Amino acid sequence: MKHNFGAGPGILPHEVLKQSAEGVMNFNGTGLSILEISHRSPEFEAVLNEAVALVKELLNVPEGYSVLFLQGGASTEFALVPYNLLPEGGKAAYVDTGVWASKALKEAKYFGQTEVVASSKESNYTYIPKDFTIPKDAAYIHITSNNTIYGTQMQSFFKSPVPVVCDMSSDIFSRVFDVADFGLIYAGAQKNMGPAGVTMVIVKDSILGKTGRQIPSMFNYQVQIDGGSMYNTPPCFAIYVSMLTLRWLKAKGGVPGIEQENIAKAKALYDEIDRNPLFKPVCATEDRSHMNVCFVMENPEHEKPFLKLCDEKGIVGIKGHRSVGGFRASIYNALPITSVHVLIDAMQEFQEKNK
């Protein structure tokens, strides 16, 4: 058995993988594959409609917001957000908490003025900045809720005088939050929702159409809303797997239920990191991510033998990003706590062997 701690594409529920495989061969008894049915068919329209309905139900999306399933990945949204929200000559505020936040900032600079209101870059992004002023003349403020590479996460969200745009790619559906606090949320599917190839966007309708610029149809959120995420052929399979994953999540008690599981998994692993003298955390305690647990060895020479032990125990995807080094255990929704305990057991065994 493999224990998949990969940062993304991340682990999917086994039953979802099984259902997806069945859908590839014979989708809902149609005799056709989900890969080959028309996106305009009643069968696929039912999939898309259910996926949208599940997002709204699981996240308690209020009236006045639209849910989109788009191609291109969250990195495309780095550009589409300012394209759709930042007026020419206007200003957007950004909080720089890691690689993805800085890449989003880079794209925004093509469309207007940007202001970095807070950054933790000077400490290699080991904490989340908290005391900063949001400029009231900004079109929006952009944040990244969870930083996969550095293992930090915003444990709460602030109220803002301007629309808040949030990249939730790596912690969407992992915890309860109030959608009404945000103007726009986007998330690549490949962490907690489905396979790579589709990005979910939740946008407050009233913030659109204010830039004064002409936006090409494929890049225009309003066009995509009017087309029901089907202005062109959508990524049907990725949406189907996402729908199945959201069904699975609902059956497990929804977001409140999975949040408690995620808290338990994170606590167990962080407790071992804090207890075991061979390992140490890399980020501020109050900002520790419940999705991506980053840690290093006290003795760097222990890294390769520990990775070898992990491999022997079927633990995969544990090697840290090159920006941080060490190890990164991504404990997304579908990872069972039993896999976390396998990793903890490996850490304790390694300690016993290296006293």
Which among 233, 232, 235, 226 has a CA at the least distance from the CA of 200? Answer: 235
Cα–Cα distance for residue pair 330/297, rounded to 1 Å? 17
- How many Å apart are CA 24 and CA 241, to the nearest integer? 10
| Interatomic CA distance for residues 74 and 341, integer angstroms | 32
Are the beta carbons of 73 and 196 closer than 8 angstroms? yes
Tokens, residue 65: 């917001």
Q: How far is CA 200 from CA 11, 122, 346, 347, in A?
A: 18, 32, 36, 36
- Residues marked active site are found at 100, 167, 191
Angle at Cα 38 formed by Cα 32 and Cα 43, nearest 5°? 70
CA dihedral 106, 188, 330, 304 (to 10 degrees): -60
